[in-house]
Amino acid sequence: MLQPGWILYARGFSITILHTDFNAPDPSSHPHFAFRSIADGLDQPEASASDIPGLISLLNGGDVVPVAGLISDSLFNFTCGVVERLKVRALMLRTSGAASLYVSTIYPILKEKGYVAMQGSRSQEAVKEFPPLLVGDIPAGDPKEPEVVFRLMDNLIKTIKNSCGVILNTFEELKYQNLDSLREVLSVPFFPIGPSHKHCATSSSSSLLAEDRSCISWLDEQPPRSVIYVSFGSIVATSEAETLEITLGLASSEQPFLWVVRPGSAHNPEWLEKSPSRFLEALKGRGKMVKWAPQTEVLAHPAVGAFWTHNGWNSTLESISEGVPMLCMPRFADQGVNARYVSDVWRVGLHLNGGLERENIARAIKRLLVEREGEEMR
């Protein structure tokens, strides 16, 4: 939400950010915005709707210019009640890509055809109605509660249809992402404003974690396009066994790497989080580890030649924007769709075939950094 805020602020709008206390942004990093918080203590999403008068009061506080419009995350369907009371127009902000949103529109068909129930052993089977997707790329959620994702998709589509339009962090020139199909199916305007990070003030950051900028000076010392940047975002965690394979795979690749190891992102590997220097010594200074990095700056650095990512949409689009090929390791939500488009449609990356094993990791890294295949993706 901060990136669209900067775009609108640069065009003369007064911006108020309404947020929960959890993962709250730092107001001091965005002095031109007003911030209003609401409590997190809601056990059920439906409880949000009961606080509409409070939301209106916050949005129309005495020290804030009266609200002219609302931009809401497209998953927050309860904000529809807010705009009804305020009698203002609402735009939905979709933080995922256009292709994954299109999958949401056809989710009932995918469910009816049995693809959602085919997860697991049949995850590598093709979705005939929507190539190039495989069954495992479809968001499925908890198999014990299969209706949860279906209801989420249904509410999402209803919310969008009731809005004045959708803001998407993408751009028209990115082909085969189903933008025209979305406009036809949902019958609302779509506004592709991306890559949104390119429109923000260079001094601003939407990061919720402290960035370790020492990695930039380290990158300055590396040869062009020689480094693989490894980051799995702010949510994805790896098991101890997976972390070990990642470690040994990076070592076996014999290529320089910059690895973001977010506190708590690796389950139980105290040897890694507490003794990174010992690990790096074993690699003869070939790598650097940080707890968090200024990602857009890292991806734009000439030393970075590949990005090992979970394929969250922001990371995917940032990598595409800088011409950095990706090693895809999707885990949940829209990540499977994003990764499939990266590898099979746009052909700017590859999946980690054969599983998360050290030999496969080393081989994939070399394909991107050393072999001609990676050069053709740039």
Superfamily for 2-199? Glycogen Phosphorylase B; (3.40.50.2000)
Average pLDDT over the chain reads 82
Cross-strand bridge partners of residue 229? 258, 307
What CA–CA distance (Å, rounded) separates 21 from 191? 29
- Report pTM: 0.83
Residues 312/335, Cβ–Cβ less than 8 Å: yes
pLDDT at 52: 47
Q: Residue 353: pLDDT above 80?
A: no
Q: In terms of pLDDT, which residue wins out, 325 or 353? A: 325
pLDDT at 47: 45
Superfamily for 214-377? Glycogen Phosphorylase B; (3.40.50.2000)
CA nearest to 366, candidates 249, 281, 259, 287? 249
Q: In terms of pLDDT, which residue wins out, 366 or 267? A: 366
Task: Please tell me if the domain spanning 2-199 has the same topology as the one spanning 214-377.
Answer: yes
Helix/strand number for the chain, H first, E second: 16, 12
Of the spans 14-18, 197-201, 242-246, which averages the highest pLDDT? 242-246
Of the ranges 76-85, 135-144, 252-261, which one carries the lowest mean pLDDT score? 76-85
Work out the burial of residue 40: count CB atoms within 10 Å of its CB; fewer than 13 is exposed, 13-18 middle, 19 or more buried.
exposed
Domain ranges of the chain: 2-199, 214-377
For the stretch 174-232, pLDDT in tens is 988 889 999 999 999 999 988 888 776 555 555 667 889 999 999 999 999 999 999 99
For the stretch 94-132, pLDDT in tens is 989 999 999 999 999 988 888 887 777 788 899 988 889
Determine what percent of the chain is predicted with pLDDT higher than 70. 80
Place of tokens 């992402």: 177
CA nearest to 334, candidates 72, 153, 148? 153
